[in-house]
Amino acid sequence: MRIGSLLLLILMVLPLTAPAAAQVPQDPELVTKRLLVRGMTRAFLGDHAAAAELYQQALRLRPDDATIHAALAQSYSDLGDAVQAMFYAERALALAPARPENLAVVAELRQASGDGVGSLEAYDRLVQIRPGDAATHVARARLLHSLEQRASAVEAYRTAARLAPD
């Protein structure tokens, strides 16, 4: 008898809990963070299309969030969509110009798209922001070498060697 009463009570209350839970407003900040974490998980697992969709959902909640734009740039780059990747990378940079990682992504994407001059401009700015980062100097040196600016490339390699002698 007790089990039957318990089941009856559960069946009576169950329809009331789902709509009530659906009506509870959710904090957009929390929802955005959850979407970002889910997107990063999908990206880590190699499902870049699913990651991009989750990031797009987050972007609808926070359209001016540089982190979301940067995540979308990475996802679209991983999907091979250079145009979308560049769009979101440039937007992330515009929203957060002081973040060197946004500038690095723009430099890499510009270089990959064949925009050597634009990439060099981004690397030059990045070197000003992170003068002690040997990897940035090496990337800049490689770009200079590909642009046949050999003397500048050698100087950039020397700077990188001074910063990371090992």
**The predicted structure's pLDDT at residue 166:** 64
CATH class of 97-166: mainly alpha
**The predicted structure's pLDDT at residue 1:** 47
CATH of 28-96, one of 1.10.10.10, 1.10.10.1100, 2.130.10.10, 1.25.40.10: 1.25.40.10
User: Is residue 6 pLDDT above 70, yes or no?
Assistant: no
Any idea of the CA torsion for 59, 65, 67, 72, to the nearest 10 degrees? 30
User: Is residue 11 pLDDT above 80, yes or no?
Assistant: no
**The predicted structure's pLDDT at residue 164:** 83
pLDDT tens per residue across span 41-95: 999 999 999 999 999 999 999 999 999 999 999 999 999 999 999 999 999 999 9
**The predicted structure's pLDDT at residue 26:** 82
DSSP label at 24?
Answer: S
> According to CATH, where is 1.25.40.10 located in the chain?
28-96, 97-166
pLDDT tens per residue across span 123-143: 999 999 999 999 999 999 999
**Amino acid residing at 70:** A
For 73-98, give one letter per residue: b (16+ CB within 10 A) or e. Answer: bbbbbbeeeeebbbbbbbbbbebbee
**The predicted structure's pLDDT at residue 17:** 46
- In this predicted model, which residue has the larger pLDDT, 121 or 164? 121
Q: What is the pTM of this model?
A: 0.76
